[in-house]
Chains A and B, each alone.
Chain A
Amino acid sequence: AQSVTQLGSHVSVSEGALVLLRCNYSSSVPPYLFWYVQYPNQGLQLLLKYTSAATLVKGINGFEAEFKKSETSFHLTKPSAHMSDAAEYFCAFSGGYNKLIFGAGTRLAVHP
């Protein structure tokens, strides 16, 4: 069965520190993988996507993610956290028909 697992429901970092949000997937077919961000009381916004081209994917707001097939991972990183990065982040897997399977989410807190 296809699934997405996000490790850590809450991550807290200091402003300027590295952000690392973890995502692992399970799939029997080549995956399309995505990271979405959700700010309070808003819908989801696409940060970046992997669609079998380059394994290192750059997204908006300085985020990037690396697809590692051997580890079945697609972790999200940002070198230096900003206060405005505080939000809920969702890793997602495309399960066909443009259907997305989402992880449970990781809430990122950024403190001064």
Chain B
Amino acid sequence: ETGVTQSPTHLIKTRGQQVTLRCSSQSGHNTVSWYQQALGQGPQFIFQYYREEENGRGNFPPRFSGLQFPNYSSELNVNALELDDSALYLCASSLAGDPGELFFGEGSRLTVL
């Protein structure tokens, strides 16, 4: 069974740039969620994708966007990066209907200078 994999593991960007983070979901999982974890805080829900469509969104501006592909992998895109976007971005996969058991990747650590 292949777990959730994310890339890149670390990256550094400057303010105003754009970034794309990638996630491969666990085998058999059809739902992907993205979370932002700022330093010293708990993860915050960004959005979720199911059947290639956004299926719930947290309190994040539209410059945070995503995609899910037919193979259930996913991308998180952030435009016009701000310093406060510096965080660990976690991808989690799950089965639709399973009450909240998420399987997390190790995350992509983004630093915005």
On whether A94 and B107 interact (CB within 8 A), knowing A43-B90, A99-B33, A104-B41, the answer reads: no
Interface size band for A: 20 to 34
Tally of A-B Cβ pairs under 8 angstroms: 70
B42 & A97 in contact (Cβ 8 Å cutoff): no
The reply on B100 being an interface residue by CB < 8 A is yes
Which of B43, B44, B48, B104 has most chain A Cβ within 10 Å?
A: B43
- Tell me the minimal C-beta distance from A99 to chain B in angstroms: 5
A42 & B106 in contact (Cβ 8 Å cutoff): yes
Which residues from chain B contact A51 at a C-beta distance below 8 Å? 99
Could you tell me the distance between the alpha carbons of A43 and B43 in the complex, rounded to whole angstroms?
Answer: 10
Which residues from chain A contact B96 at a C-beta distance below 8 Å? 98
A-facing residues in B57-98 (Cβ within 8 Å): 58, 90, 92, 94, 96, 98
A94 & B100 in contact (Cβ 8 Å cutoff): yes
- Tell me the minimal C-beta distance from B108 to chain A in angstroms: 10
Identify A46's interface contact among B4, B101, B105, CB under 8 A.
B101
A99 & B45 in contact (Cβ 8 Å cutoff): yes
The reply on B31 being an interface residue by CB < 8 A is yes
The reply on A25 being an interface residue by CB < 8 A is no
- Tell me the minimal C-beta distance from B113 to chain A in angstroms: 20
Could you tell me the distance between the alpha carbons of A95 and B58 in the complex, rounded to whole angstroms?
Answer: 11
Could you tell me the distance between the alpha carbons of A42 and B103 in the complex, rounded to whole angstroms?
Answer: 12
Which residues on B are within 8 Å of A, measured CB to CB?
A: 4, 31, 33, 35, 40-45, 48, 55-56, 58, 90, 92, 94, 96, 98-107
Q: Please name 20 pairs of A and B residues whose Cβ atoms are closer than 8 Å in the assembled complex, sorted by A.
A: A32-B99, A32-B100, A41-B106, A42-B106, A42-B107, A43-B4, A43-B104, A46-B101, A90-B43, A92-B42, A95-B45, A98-B48, A99-B45, A99-B100, A100-B33, A100-B35, A102-B43, A102-B44, A104-B42, A105-B40
